Amino acid sequence: MHKLNETTPRRNFLTNSVKGSLAFGVGMSAFASLLQSFTFAEDEESGLLLQGAGAITTEAQFRAAIAGPVNTSMMSSQLAATQATNPYAKQFAGFELEETKGMVSILKDMGTTPPPPDAKAQAMMTQMKSATGAAFDKAYITAQLQTHQLLQSLTQGYLASPAPAKTNMMEMHGRHIATLALATIKEHVAITQRLSTVLGS
C-alpha cells in the first residue's frame, strides 16, 4: 500500500509558489467559454480523457479550468474526512482536504472564484451523502479518481501548449506551478487507483 502518511513539503512549496507567482484572475464567463471546447472520452490506460485540453494556453485559463474540479474535490473530502470508514480512504481525505482548501484560497486570492457545482458534481455529492460504510468509501474514492484524472488531463494539456517567451514571467511561473502540481496529481491518481482496487470499486 502506498505510504499515505508521508510528509508533504512539495505541497507547501506549491502553495507558497502560487501565492508568490500568480496575480491575475479570470471571470466566470471565461470559464464557461473554455469548457465549451472540451469533450470527454474513455481511455484504456488512464480512464477519463479530456479532449480539447490543449485549448488551455495561458496560466489564467489553466486556473479557470481547474477551479471547479478542485472545489468539488474539497467538498467531497470534507464529507469523507468524517464519514469514511476505511482508514486509508479517511487518511487520503484528510490530505486532500488540506490541499484543496489551500488551493481554493489561493484561487480566490487571485480572483478565480470556483464555480457552483455542476450537475455531475451535485449528483456525486448526493450519492455520497446517501451512502454509508463501504459504499460511501467506494463512492468517494471513485469520485476522487475521476476528478484527479480530469485534473491530470487539464494540466498535461496546458503544459503541452506552446511555451511562452522566457521574458513573460507570469506565464513562465504558471508553467512551473503546473509542473509541480502535475507530480502531486499523478501521485493521487495512483493512490486512488490502488484504493479502488482494495475497496472493490
Using 50, 70 and 90 to split pLDDT, how confident is the model at 54?
low
Cβ neighbours of residue 122 closer than 8 Å, sequence gap 6 or more: none
pLDDT score at 68: 94
Residue-wise pLDDT tens digits, 146-191: 999 999 999 999 999 888 888 888 888 888 888 988 999 999 999 9
Distance CA 12, CA 6 (A): 13
* Residue 30 pLDDT greater than 80, yes or no: no
172 half-sphere exposure, CB direction, 13 A CA radius: 5
Q: 1: exposed, middle or buried (C-beta count within 10 Å: 0-12, 13-18, 19+)?
A: exposed
Distance CA 89, CA 93 (A): 6
